Amino acid sequence: MSPNAIKHPRLNPSGQTIKFLIIISVFLLLVSALSMYFNTRNTERRYMELARVIGRSIFQEILIVRRWNAEHGGVYVPVTERFQPNLYLEDVRRDVTTTDGMKLTKINPEYMTRLISELLEKENGIKIHITSLRLTSPANRPDQWEGKTLQNFELGSEEGVGIVGPKKSAMFRYMAPLKTEETCITCHAKQGYKVGDIRGGLSVSFSYVPFQRAVNSINARIYFAHAVFILLGIAIIFLLGKKLVSKIEELQKALHHIKKLEGLLPICAHCKMIRKEGANPFDQASWVPIEIYIEERTNAQFTHGICPACVKRHYGFRLGE
């Protein structure tokens, strides 16, 4: 069989290695992208939860103040330009006059909530709003977000949160239900409420812009850290890959030389000369010494010596005698 009849598939290991390195790089990018996504989302969730905790704390503090007011049947303050009688409070003792002629008006929990809200909004930008689906005062009319949240309370929701408005002026909204307590019956029994009934809700609103700035700052650091990681990762993959491809190419060259020696070699049974691939077997020039054949196809070089059997056969003595 002619050595030319033996075929070897042409492989491209270096090309396959490059493809593998590209796959690793793409995988690195995907993992980094997922990491960035989950880290940034986690930052947003943490600051959203922080705002929720702040809103809940403000709600609970206002609730305690309202409860204190209700337990004392309201509090009286002097009538001034700021503190005017509550026209929606039906109480025969709403307005009283002291023995020295000072006029006092009763501040009930609802009115106190509005007064506290005005002060908080002026001093801290925090707005408190008490509202209900069954109003006693038009000033307590719910906005769209509050109306939807109140409906969710009727369905069993415990609290509502949301961010409304454009990013430059975004407001965080928190709202929880107001449940009818024993001290509330005096004013709200006429509306048909019983102890434990949800009679409305109290919403807390404050700017979410500082929170968003903190989120943006942390996310910027997350993006930077991941970008550095991606660049370093790709650089390491490129450098190690370059060395790997170089070694593979060297191995390919060595394998190429070895493959030249594979297969069935036509060799003379007497002089041991080898016939060149595809050469005319009847042309003496087609036959070359075995050492020349190998030297032309590999990096091997030959030196000449003589084996003990040839010494005995050609010179009549043994080596070492």
- Reference 112, options 135, 81, 89, 138; nearest CA is 89
pLDDT computed for residue 117 by the predictor: 87
- What is the crossing angle of helices 13-71 and 209-260, to 10°? 160
pLDDT computed for residue 309 by the predictor: 79
Domain boundaries, given as residue ranges, for the chain: 274-315
pLDDT computed for residue 296 by the predictor: 76
pLDDT computed for residue 49 by the predictor: 95
Q: Under a CB-based contact definition with an 8 Å cutoff, are residues 87 and 106 in contact?
A: no
Q: What is the pLDDT of residues 155-209, one digit of tens each?
A: 888 899 999 988 889 999 999 998 876 655 555 555 555 666 677 889 999 999 9
| DSSP SS3 for 76 | strand
Block means of pLDDT (10 residues each) for the chain, 321 residues, are 42 70 88 93 95 94 88 86 80 84 86 86 90 79 91 90 90 90 57 68 94 94 93 87 78 68 73 82 85 76 79 72 61
pLDDT computed for residue 47 by the predictor: 95
Phi, psi at 144, each rounded to 5°: -60, -45
pLDDT computed for residue 144 by the predictor: 92
What DSSP string describes 250-313? Answer: HHHHHHHHHHHT-S---B-TTT--EEPTT--TT-GGGEE-HHHHHHHHSS--------HHHHHH
pLDDT computed for residue 188 by the predictor: 55
User: Distance between alpha carbon 287 and the CA centroid of its chain, in Å?
Assistant: 71
- Reference 249, options 8, 18, 5, 7; nearest CA is 18
Residue 161 bridge partners (DSSP): 174
Q: What is the pLDDT of residues 118-155, one digit of tens each?
A: 889 888 899 999 888 877 777 788 999 999 999 999 88
Going by C-beta distance under 8 Å and a sequence separation of 6 or more, which residues neighbour residue 318?
308, 311, 312
Integer Cα distance of 28 and 239 in angstroms:
15
